[in-house]
Copies of this chain bind each other. A is one copy, B any other.
């Protein structure tokens, strides 16, 4: 059983294509939990290649590292995940993906509805749409076409 020794970080790097620095960074973010050998170097399970694959895949799916950490925590500690584990997690992926696709399709529909309509202003017609605003990322309110909550044409005059 040559398993107990574990593999070095360079091996995982080579097999995954990730930079050594990225793997170390994932450890700081709680995504990997290597142990140390007598000399203080990190040692990983061979199966951690799969863990790294999972991280890369989840990133492609648009998840942040904290979210991915959440997924990984649902895996039974230390052991190689089972097909059921992956299936459970992938259902979460599916929901996330569905939501993103739906948002984009709504945006596209709005856009399609307006490209040919010849109206005064594309933003006014198709894109000033509260639904779209659900997709916004910044903090604080943003009003398309200047339609702030007051909805008035003039700013407030009073003190």
Contact = CB atoms under 8 A, between A and B. Distances in A.
Nearest to A56: B142
Contacts of A60: 107, 132, 135-137
Nearest to A142: B17
A116 B94 CA distance: 13
Nearest to A128: B53
A111 to B, nearest CB: 6
B148 A61 contact: no
Contact of A123 (B18, B53, B59): B53
Given A83-B118, A127-B57, A145-B53, A108 B104 contact: no
Contacts of A83: 118-122
Given A121-B50, A142-B18, A155-B11, A115 B94 contact: yes
25 contacts: A14-B148, A15-B143, A15-B148, A15-B155, A17-B140, A19-B140, A22-B138, A49-B146, A50-B121, A50-B123, A50-B146, A54-B123, A57-B127, A57-B144, A60-B136, A83-B120, A86-B122, A87-B116, A91-B115, A94-B111, A97-B108, A97-B111, A101-B101, A101-B104, A101-B105
